[in-house]
Amino acid sequence: MPVNEQYPQIAPFLNHLKFERRYSRHTIISYQTDLEQFFAYLISQFDAPPVEKITGSFVRSWLAEMKGEDISGKTLNRKISSLTSFFKYQMKLGLLEQSPMVTVTAPKIKKRLPSFVEEKNMETLFSHVEFSDDWKGRTEKLVIRLFYSTGMRLSELIHLKESQIDTSHKQVKVLGKGNKERIIPVHAELMSELVQYISEKPTVREGSVHNVFVTEKGKALQPKPVYTFVKHYLSLVTTIQKKSPHILRHSFATHLMNNGADLNAVKELLGHSSLAATQVYTHNTIEKLKEVFKKSHPKA
């Protein structure tokens, strides 16, 4: 019998995430994968105990097996989070009195500081690196500028619609995680370039594409090509290991903090739901202060 038939509670929970919590398709797939793995384990190892009979020891047994397969602590924590949300939802429905997750401890993970591109390297990219003098090169340069100037996520940028560009107030309305809207200001010069870019967009035969950024054939940009060209251009100006659109988001936030931006303001610009997610960028600021101190103070 398939996992979803053996445990029919999975489908309503995923629908809850989709329609009530409005999670992204990618996030829902992650939850589904974690839950199906866990319940498949219960079926194979413990003869499919009913949800109300699942204890913390079942969960710990599964996590131990996952750890034995050399799965990272970060992935284990995500799986724990998936199960915690699932059982919390069962309690909300009145199907459980207590979650088995209360006795499960998540492994501690050493927090890594987010990588970012130095300000001088970003300046080099925009001032000295040559982009091809055609629609492709123009699109690539404008995409990278918008990533760095707004801190948008990849999905937010490639799905950005013309209607989200507010030229009169020089700002863009971004639809982020959980369909939460946020407003990000855009520099006047960059806004002018966006307006001109939109006015000259190539169109496809079937009609116009309302996404801001399109290919030379008038089709909406796809994630993989964007990853590819961002990595290419960043490799010309920096030696950091990770070179992706998300690194430009980290660079946006880090440079704001390094230049004295208010932490709450950065939180709103990034679209973080909690301040804790934004506070990681203060560590880079502290590291910069230590570096300045070491170089400048006679007793350092």
**Active site positions, annotated:** 153, 177, 246, 249, 272, 281
Contact status, residue 30 vs residue 82, Cβ threshold 8 Å:
yes
- Pairing type for strands 165-166 and 181-185 reads unpaired
The one-letter amino acid code at 149 reads: S
> Which residues lie closer than 8 Å to 248 by C-beta, 6 or more apart?
117, 144, 147, 148, 151, 230, 234
Residue 16 DSSP symbol: I
- Of 267, 254, 135, 265, the residue nearest 202 (C-alpha): 135
In sequence order, what E strands does 33-136 have? none
How far is residue 295 from each of residues 257, 281, 282, measured CA to CA in Å?
A: 20, 22, 20
